[in-house]
Amino acid sequence: MGMLLLSFLQSPAQQQPTTVHITVIHNGHQCPAPAEITASFGGRSLRMPVRDDKFEAPPEVVAAQSVTVETDVQDSHIRLTKIAGAEFAGSWTLRLAERADDDYYEWPGPKGANIAASCMLELDNGHEDPARVRFEENCRSKKK
């Protein structure tokens, strides 16, 4: 009983990082995952290297209420905002497309959205079916 209580009382610094598998689909084709992902929250930023299409989110990222994620994919800089720290789990699929009429998105986004500047992020924690889908406009720009 005492060990169970101690496990609940551990600080976030003592907890283990959470592994997230990331897949990037651009115009219907899988492309290489980014080399790293930067998570910004509460006035600080953490760089998380991506290896074998996976990255580890430290406990402080997972505990954050709102996280901004930035990364470079091919010739695009991606910036996704207001991701709950609890979403750093399971599998992420980042979908990018150039046109709304392509079959590359499962959902074409809001009417009138600039698809070439938008991102769709599927968040699959393994417990919900279907996965949650976030569509964010103006999250994509040319890499500097």
User: Average pLDDT of the chain?
Assistant: 85
pTM score > 0.75 for this model? Answer: yes
Establish whether the linkage from the previous residue to 130 is cis, with ω within 30° of 0. yes
3 neighbors 31 (Cβ within 8 angstroms): no
Alpha carbon distance 125, 90 (integer Å): 4
- Is residue 118 left, alpha or beta, with left meaning phi > 0 and alpha meaning psi from -120 to 50? beta
Please report where in the chains the tokens 């789990």 appear, as a residue.
Answer: 89
Highest mean pLDDT among 1-15, 78-92, 111-125: 78-92
Q: Are strands 67-73 and 54-57 parallel, antiparallel or unpaired?
A: unpaired
Reported as a single tens digit per residue, the pLDDT across 13-72 is 458 899 999 999 998 889 999 999 999 999 999 999 999 999 999 999 999 999 999 999
Distances (CA, A) of 64 to 58, 75, 86, 89, 105: 10, 29, 8, 13, 29
Establish whether the linkage from the previous residue to 110 is cis, with ω within 30° of 0. no
Dihedral pair phi/psi, residue 128, rounded to 5°:
-115, 145
Give the residue with greater pLDDT, 111 vs 3.
Answer: 111
The token pair that represents 137 in the structure block:
């406009």
What pLDDT band is residue 143 in, cutting at 50, 70 and 90?
confident
